[in-house]
């Protein structure tokens, strides 16, 4: 991500949520900005009338069906893939590759879903680099966007992520599908409340947390939510797009 864009992102950080070891210097004239090491944390879109639906914990059994659903509606989403969680990434390499080729945003959810702040620095780094290696083998590049497992971050982890040029993405809307994986209404209700409020579309968009490892989420809630979003005039886009960050910044070598 270009330094100037990082500045723009930094302004939408929910600064209260996390404490970074290095304070963010938002002075535009400061050359310090380009070298600042703590990763930016994004919790919400900046562009109105967008919604970024994000899928954690895959790839797994429903990734491919979900990709069919997204394709049939010509919308894009963001996948925060693990290396080893419900499935192993090499077993679902074709789905990961397809997500990338279909134009979705492929991003990192770290190797095996451990709580990064509880690890040693070298273990936390390994959680990121092991998955980078797997991504390079499967799609030829590695992502620059990541979501920390459990949304859990601290100063040293943000420092490490910043050194590897990551933007950390949390969320501002949580369906809590993991807590009620078979309850369609409990997840869908949240989308209805959001999209049926006519004032909402003028606001900066939302980053919605979902887990694609649950069949009801992937194959039932998501298509209904997308259809409602489209009817109400929303653009269903990736996290990068809902921040105005071009695709060329989503990956690096
Ligand atoms: C932030 O940048 C300004 C302008 O370059 C500089 O004067 C100030 O010392 C910096 N603050 C920090 C905390 O780095
Ligand atoms: C981070 O980005 C800088 C500037 O583009 C580059 O020099 C550095 O090698 C990158 N670091 C990693 C770990 O990719
Ligand atoms: Zn997760």
> What is the rounded (10 degree) CA torsion for 66, 67, 68, 69?
50
Does residue 2 fall inside a structural domain?
no
Residue list, ligand 2 pocket, CB within 6 Å: 164-165, 252
> How many angstroms does the Cα of residue 198 sit away from the middle of ligand 3?
31
Nearby residues of 88 by Cβ (< 8 Å), 6 or more positions away: none
Strands 145-146 and 167-169: parallel
Structural domain boundaries enclosing 211: 12-252
Please say if 227 is a catalytic residue.
Answer: no
pLDDT for res 7:
41
253 residues of the chain, pLDDT tens digit each: 444 444 444 434 433 344 443 444 344 444 444 445 699 999 999 999 999 999 999 999 999 999 999 999 999 999 999 999 999 999 999 999 999 999 999 999 999 999 999 999 999 999 999 999 999 999 999 999 999 999 999 999 999 999 999 999 999 999 888 889 999 998 999 999 999 999 999 999 999 999 999 999 999 999 999 999 999 999 999 999 999 999 999 999 9
Residue list, ligand 1 pocket, CB within 6 Å: 23, 25, 27, 29-30, 32
Does residue 3 fall inside a structural domain?
no
By most ligand atoms within 8 Å of CB, the mutation choice from 131, 133, 165 for ligand 2 is 165
Length reported for the chain = 253
Query: Using CA atoms, how far apart are residues 220 and 129, in angstroms rounded to an integer?
Result: 34
Ligand 2 atom 1, closest CA: 165
Does residue 202 fall inside a structural domain?
yes
pLDDT for res 174:
93
Structural Rg of the chain based on CA atoms: 17
Closest ligand 2 atom to the C-alpha of 253?
14
Does residue 5 fall inside a structural domain?
no
pTM score, two decimals? 0.83
Task: Annotate 54-90 with DSSP letters as a single string.
Answer: EEES-SSTTHHHHHHHHHHTT---EEEE-SBSSSBGG
Does residue 67 fall inside a structural domain?
yes
CATH number for the domain including 125?
A: 3.20.20.370
Contact (CB, 8 A) for 104 and 78: yes
Does residue 57 fall inside a structural domain?
yes
Closest of 149, 157, 162 to residue 39, by C-alpha: 162
Query: How many domains in the chain?
Result: 1
> How many angstroms does the Cα of residue 21 sit away from the middle of ligand 2?
20
From first CA to last CA, the distance across the chain in angstroms is 13
Does residue 4 fall inside a structural domain?
no
Q: Name the DSSP letter for residue 44.
A: S
Q: Which of 109, 113, 211, 214 is catalytic?
A: 211
Please say if 56 is a catalytic residue.
Answer: yes
Does residue 155 fall inside a structural domain?
yes
> How many angstroms does the Cα of residue 30 sit away from the middle of ligand 1?
6
């Amino acid at each position: 991500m270009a330094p100037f864009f990082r500045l723009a992102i930094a302004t939408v950080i929910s600064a209260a949520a996390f404490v970074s070891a290095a304070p963010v210097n938002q002075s535009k004239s400061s050359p310090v900005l380009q070298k600042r090491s703590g990763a930016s944390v994004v919790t919400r879109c900046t562009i109105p009338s967008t919604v970024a639906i994000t899928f954690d914990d895959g790839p797994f059994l429903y990734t491919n069906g979900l990709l069919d659903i997204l394709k049939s509606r010509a919308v894009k989403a963001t996948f925060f893939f693990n290396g080893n969680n419900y499935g192993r990434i090499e077993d679902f390499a074709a789905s990961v590759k397809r997500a990338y080729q279909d134009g979705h945003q492929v991003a990192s959810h770290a190797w095996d879903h451990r709580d990064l702040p509880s690890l040693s620095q070298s273990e936390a780094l390994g959680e990121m680099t092991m998955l980078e290696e797997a991504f390079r083998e499967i799609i030829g590049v590695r992502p620059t966007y990541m979501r920390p497992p459990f949304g859990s971050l601290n100063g040293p982890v943000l420092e490490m992520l910043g050194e590897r040029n990551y933007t950390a993405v949390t969320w501002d809307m949580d369906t809590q599908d993991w807590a009620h994986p078979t309850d369609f209404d409990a997840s869908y209700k949240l989308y209805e409340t959001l999209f049926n409020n006519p004032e909402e579309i003028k606001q900066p968009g939302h980053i919605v947390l979902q887990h694609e490892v649950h069949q009801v989420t992937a194959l039932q809630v998501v298509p209904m939510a997308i259809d409602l979003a489209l009817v109400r005039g929303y653009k269903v886009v990736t996290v990068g797009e809902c921040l105005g960050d071009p695709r060329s910044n989503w990956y690096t070598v």
